[in-house]
Structure 1
Amino acid sequence: MAHRYKVREIAQQCGLSEATVDRVLNDRPGVRENTRAEVQQAIADLDKQRAQLRLNGRRFLIDVIMHTPQRFSDAFRSAVEAELPAFAPALVRARFHLWEAGTTAQMVDELTRIRGTHGVILKAQDEPDVAEAIDRLVSSGVPVVTYATDVPTSMRCGYVGIDNHGAGLTAAYLVDQWLGATASDVLITVSRTVFRGEGEREMGFRSGLRPSGRAVVEVTDSDGIDATTERLVFDALRRHPSVRAVYSPGGGNTATLAAFDRLGRDCSVFIAHDLDADNRRLLRDGRISAVLHNDLRADARTAVRLILQHNGALPAEPAKPTPIQIVTPYNLP
């Protein structure tokens, strides 16, 4: 059977005879499983070494474009910057284009102006104009990886992030379990409906909470900005005195709790997303119940790897959904 490495090369790597390696590669009988495992590990090691040679001396420039609250963009920027040295011997640099509030036209303009890049990591609205801008980039040879929220109708080369629908179901389960027999409706805060990821979280949450009979009160279009969030939540709480729990897929949690405090209302259960600085503090202070978190550094590493793969610098590897971690004050990393 033809193989990408010579039998002699694999035998040298694993310290076995060429005859043994040949039997493994051709799936012949009489070979122990641990011997097969040694040969497969040798091939994997050779793949890594080949990848290192392809990376040696190469330079890559990646653009990170995000419409998101600063608390999240700061955390993701730190994750990207921490992971870039791991791609040595290649030199990978990143440019960041980050803003909290803006329009679809602003996002399209930013995507249109990108020049001299080897790839884009993108958190953007799921809008037709955005999809078309992504398609133009990809058609010009620039791979685009969507992050945290997808634009699935585009030609993007991959999505990195959690299963958002599953996250919403998880939040609904936690809220209903912790509320128990307490009569309470639930507030959900969505930063903007054009972000597919938050929409999927909301759909999962509504689906999971439906059997409980609890009403879901929605606050949206805050962009996750504190001042706007507090005003919208305050108005919603005044209109719905039965709300005693919150699911926040869109952020602005300090502002949401400030609105409860202004009305002298308790929040019995609060489920949030992402371990940014605000949520760490709120967890330590016992103001929120749990955070649905994913490892931002692992996300950054996967996104950069996808871009390097599409530039032919690394072997192809399928991207898998990021596991969801349930973080409480007692397992806060």
Structure 2
Amino acid sequence: MAHRFLMKEIALQAGVGLATVDRVLNGRPNVNERSRQRVQQAIKELEKQQFQLAVAGRKLVVDVLVEAPGRFCDEIREAFESELPALRPAVFRPRFTMQDTMTTAQVVDALDAIGRRGSHGVLLKARDVPDIAEAIALLRQRGIPVVTIFTDIPQSARIAYAGLDNHVAGATAAYLVGQWLAQSQGNVLVTMSDDSFRGEEERKNSFRDELLRRYPKLTLVDASGGHGLNDQTEERVRKAVGRKRAIAAVYSMGGGNVAILRAMRAMGKTPRCFIAHDLDRDNIRLLRDGSISAVLHHDLRLDLRNACHQIMHFHKLLPVSAIGDVSSVVVVTPANIPRYVDRRFGGGLREAETG
């Protein structure tokens, strides 16, 4: 396997021993497939961090452990890697572990493995359940700080949360739905990926409360539990809605919007308002073609910068005054898609739409 890195750098990035790296690089036997893949992934990560490796400063190896659909994982990875050069005076070396879905046991095992091999910090997107909170406490006992990102685990030993103000996001979605519909009654479809993700639960509770206060005759229809994955989400929507129930609006908190729209169209339903979250590739395309009305956006780079600043503060490299607040919600319509999104997705999306 061609590479330009010292074995000790690869071992640190992969979180494995030098002997394992040697076996993988030289094609020797007695290496399990998971370790082989981790070494191969570490080399790819190091290739993207080459500029970082040449910069002087305190090196912090951080683990990014995320349960989310692949499209959002890609957004997180790209946002973090784009932010790396600005994270001074530290030099961050991220190690990514990301999957569409993870059981509680898998998350706990991953956190335990991080504790055994060592880390300067963990950025974690996971469910708010007792076993994961306990695993966070064990990491804290080892001196490894955890920052929850995008969805919180507030009763754990995490040192901070970095991400969207989900309460404000839910209330904003309720206001937009009411303004868009301009009517006093109807059904509003809501979808979360999983109710154990605290951030989405906060959005839903705030949305429900604000809708009840402002528009008490609008009724919620819940199709949650599809994990933001297309097949599962589509099935949940079909079962919750059925062919006889009219849907005036949709508030999608957990993604899978292509699948939601596919299910709605198959049942002959066209909601007048569709509010989504996150400026990923799917949502930008749906926003441009008018399939969704607005996207509630927060700056992932800002969120990850704040998370890293919390890690730096823990290691006494940054004063607390330098750390920003949780992200404010930004309402994005086809008229105000950010320029950096256009630069990143615009050409490729337009080619796909016309090809």
Q: How does 1:182-201 map to 2 (within 5 A)?
A: 183-201=185-203
Match of 1:326 in 2: 331
SS in 2 for 1:242: coil
Match of 2:74 in 1: 74
Question: Shift of residue 182 of structure 1?
Answer: 6.8
Q: State yes or no: 1:109 paired with 2:114.
A: no
Structure-2 separation of matches of 1:329 and 1:127: 38
* TM-score normalised according to structure 1 size: 0.81
SS in 2 for 1:227: helix
Q: How does 1:1-333 map to 2 (within 5 A)?
A: 56-88=56-88, 90-114=90-114, 115-181=117-183, 183-211=185-213, 212=215, 213-238=217-242, 241-317=245-321, 318-333=323-338
1:132-160 Cα distance to aligned partner (Å, 9 max, x none)? 10011111111110011111111111001
1:208-252 Cα distance to aligned partner (Å, 9 max, x none)? 111421110111211110111111112222165121210011110
Contact persistence 2:90–2:312 (CA under 8 A): no
Cα separation, partners in 2 of 1:88 and 1:161, compared to 1, 3 Å: closer
Structure-2 separation of matches of 1:142 and 1:239: 51
Match of 2:11 in 1: none
Contact persistence 1:160–1:319 (CA under 8 A): no
Counterpart residue identity of residue 315, structure 2:
N
Contact persistence 1:56–1:88 (CA under 8 A): no
Counterpart residue identity of residue 276, structure 1:
D
Structure-2 separation of matches of 1:200 and 1:162: 11
Question: Shift of residue 305 of structure 1?
Answer: 1.2
Question: Shift of residue 88 of structure 1?
Answer: 4.4
SS in 2 for 1:60: strand
Structure-1 separation of matches of 2:90 and 2:168: 36
Counterpart residue identity of residue 70, structure 2:
Q
Structure of greater Rg: 1
SS in 1 for 2:296: strand
Question: Shift of residue 87 of structure 1?
Answer: 2.2
Contact persistence 1:198–1:249 (CA under 8 A): yes
* TM-score normalised according to structure 2 size: 0.76
Structure-2 separation of matches of 1:91 and 1:214: 50
| Residues matched between the structures, number | 279
Structure-2 separation of matches of 1:287 and 1:234: 18
Structure-2 separation of matches of 1:255 and 1:297: 27
Structure-2 separation of matches of 1:207 and 1:181: 18
Question: Shift of residue 90 of structure 1?
Answer: 3.5
Query: For structure 2, which runs of at least 5 residues remain unmatched after alignment?
Result: 1-54, 339-355
Contact persistence 2:286–2:292 (CA under 8 A): yes
Instruction: With a CA cutoff of 8 Å and minimum separation of 6, indicate the structure with the bigger relative contact order.
Output: 1
Structure-2 separation of matches of 1:59 and 1:65: 19
Structure-2 separation of matches of 1:265 and 1:64: 40
Runs of 4+ in 1 over 4 A off after TM superposition: none
Query: For structure 1, which runs of at least 5 residues remain unmatched after alignment?
Result: 1-54
Contact persistence 1:293–1:325 (CA under 8 A): yes
